[in-house]
């Protein structure tokens, strides 16, 4: 299938290139704050700083804004979120609340999910058993998290899950955490906030996040390479296109990028922070998108479906996204990572075969255009979202600690209860900006001549 360029398919880049604020900042290397990364956390921080009248710049390595939130409108002719898609707890989600400002449509997701057992849907009693197993497992992990020592979520699983165990493990692990439960801290899992009410943005969550960046001084294709924060010198941020001097910097790069050393620090980060970054690795979560002619699955718009799996070789189905013919087969965890490593053709083949096994071979004839993501290979992400390893839950709090009052970290990994979510990333960006603003005197007011 012919591929179009990323710049052509992604929403939100063009409007920033001509920003007057960007021109003003680019003319001088001296700013109050440099924000590294134009994802949800960086945009949230930028909006806070802009509202306070501060001089700042957002430097972004990619050729677009949004980070792990990106909407593609060209591949299928309808909005397709290549990254984050779910808006959790929309009544209190800061991004959902701003949808009206952005003039985009956020609508509630259908309640609940369905379970496929072979070629049929679970009956009422079977569905009740599945939901009860999920509840019991959540409670068991929460109980384990009250213990003196952290354990993996897999160690806390009830012993009597029986045939439902693979499905329960997938829903709570790869689907919910982007990692197998054996790789997730029970402490971290138990601390996560409820995410049982959801919504979607009709134009795409990536489009919404990008819209909220309009007017901010963003320099695209400008990765930060070095942060010099020696107490004996000024704070400087080196980029591929020049240097900035600032009073503070907000780093929103993913923990995977930081662990890979793509952004260096002089002097190096303290071991405490380096260890924290290492204990918050990004998991694997990818969309395999299939355009299905007609409605061969017989599902309603935005219906979520799992299968009563017999192994970890399984997926989740989000059918008819926003009422379109687009269906997302989502894979994650160890199986998802191994599948993504085989390439897009293998991912599409798995999704087609998986649907055919559940709905019959005729489904394959309805498949039209296809694509798949591979977030592990996205150079400015290197993964999906964070889940703490065993013993790693306190690392989120450590990552939130500023260094020398000048370096602040933000992003989904720097949130103790909303990790792995766009809302959590947004809140962390606002929190970092607020902490910096408290250290500054109020911005000088610009006097305006009175009208006569």
pLDDT in tens, 143-180: 999 999 999 999 999 999 999 999 999 999 999 999 99
354 phi and psi angles, rounded to 5 deg: -60, -45
Where in the sequence of the chain do the CATH 3.90.660.10 domains occur?
A: 107-201+283-377
CATH superfamily of 6-73+202-280+390-439: FAD/NAD(P)-binding domain (3.50.50.60)
**Exposure letters 386-416 (e unless 16+ CB within 10 A, then b):** bbbbbebbbbbebbbeebeebbbbbbbbbbb
Given pLDDT bands bounded at 50, 70 and 90, which one contains residue 441? low
pLDDT of residue 28: 61
HSE (CB half, 13 Å, CA atoms) of 289? 24
CATH of domain 107-201+283-377: 3.90.660.10
**Exposure letters 82-95 (e unless 16+ CB within 10 A, then b):** bbbbbbbbbeebbb
pLDDT digits (tens, 9 = 90+) for 9-55: 333 333 333 344 444 454 468 999 999 999 999 999 999 999 999 99
pLDDT of residue 151: 98
Q: How far apart are CA 230 and CA 344, in angstroms?
A: 45
Average pLDDT over residues 105-110: 97
Q: From 438, 420, 405, select the one nearest 249 (Cα to Cα).
A: 405
Torsion angle of C-alpha atoms 100, 78, 385, 248, degrees rounded to 10? -50
pTM: 0.92
Given pLDDT bands bounded at 50, 70 and 90, which one contains residue 443? low
pLDDT of residue 420: 97
Sheet with 106-108: strands ordered across:
87-88, 198-201, 106-108
Check whether 248 has a pLDDT greater than 90.
yes
Check whether 305 has a pLDDT greater than 80.
yes
For 209, the enclosing helix (H) or strand (E) is helix 205-211
pLDDT of residue 9: 33
pLDDT digits (tens, 9 = 90+) for 355-397: 999 999 999 999 999 999 999 999 999 999 999 999 999 999 9
Average pLDDT over residues 114-119: 97
**Exposure letters 160-175 (e unless 16+ CB within 10 A, then b):** ebeebbbbbbbbbbbb
pLDDT of residue 5: 33
pLDDT of residue 53: 96
Where in the sequence of the chain do the CATH 3.50.50.60 domains occur?
A: 6-73+202-280+390-439
């Amino acid at each position: 299938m012919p591929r179009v360029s990323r710049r052509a398919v992604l929403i939100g880049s063009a409007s920033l290139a001509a920003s007057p604020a960007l021109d003003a900042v680019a003319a001088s290397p001296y700013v109050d704050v440099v924000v590294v990364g134009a994802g949800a956390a960086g945009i949230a921080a930028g909006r806070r700083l802009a509202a306070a009248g501060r001089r700042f710049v957002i430097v972004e390595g990619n050729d677009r804004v949004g980070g792990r939130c990106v909407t593609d409108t060209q591949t299928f002719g309808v909005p397709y979120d290549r990254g984050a898609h779910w808006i959790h707890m929309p009544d209190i989600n800061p991004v959902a609340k701003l949808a009206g400002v952005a003039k985009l449509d956020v609508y509630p997701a259908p309640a609940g999910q369905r379970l496929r057992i072979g070629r049929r849907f679970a009956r009422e009693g079977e569905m009740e058993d599945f939901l009860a197993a999920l509840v019991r497992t959540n409670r068991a992990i929460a109980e384990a998290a009250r213990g003196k020592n952290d354990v993996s979520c897999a160690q806390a699983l009830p012993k009597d899950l029986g045939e439902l165990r693979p499905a329960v493990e997938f829903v709570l692990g790869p689907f919910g955490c982007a990692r197998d439960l054996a790789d997730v801290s029970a402490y971290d899992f138990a601390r996560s906030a409820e995410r049982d009410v959801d919504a979607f943005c009709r134009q795409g969550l990536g489009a919404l996040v990008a819209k909220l960046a309009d007017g901010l001084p963003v320099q695209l294709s400008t990765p930060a390479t070095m942060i010099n924060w020696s107490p004996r010198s000024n704070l400087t941020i080196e980029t591929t296109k020049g240097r900035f001097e600032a009073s503070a910097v907000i780093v929103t790069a993913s923990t995977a990028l930081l662990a890979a050393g793509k952004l260096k620090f002089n002097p190096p980060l303290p071991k405490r922070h380096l260890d924290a970054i290492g204990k918050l690795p990004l998991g694997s979560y990818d969309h395999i998108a299939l355009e299905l002619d007609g409605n061969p699955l017989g599902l309603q718009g935005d219906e979520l479906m799992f299968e009563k799996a017999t192994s970890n070789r399984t997926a989740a189905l989000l059918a008819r996204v926003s009422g379109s013919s687009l269906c997302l087969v989502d894979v994650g965890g160890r199986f998802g990572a191994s599948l993504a490593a085989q390439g897009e053709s293998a991912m599409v083949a798995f999704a087609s075969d998986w649907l055919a096994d559940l709905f019959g071979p005729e489904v394959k004839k309805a498949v039209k255009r296809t694509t798949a993501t591979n977030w592990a290979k996205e150079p400015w992400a290197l993964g999906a979202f964070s889940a703490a390893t065993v013993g790693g839950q306190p690392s989120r709090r450590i990552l939130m600690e500023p260094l020398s009052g000048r370096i602040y970290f933000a992003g989904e990994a720097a949130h103790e209860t909303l990790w792995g979510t766009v809302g959590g990333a947004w809140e962390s960006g606002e929190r970092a900006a607020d902490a910096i603003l408290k250290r500054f005197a109020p911005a000088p007011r610009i006097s305006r001549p009175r009208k006569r």
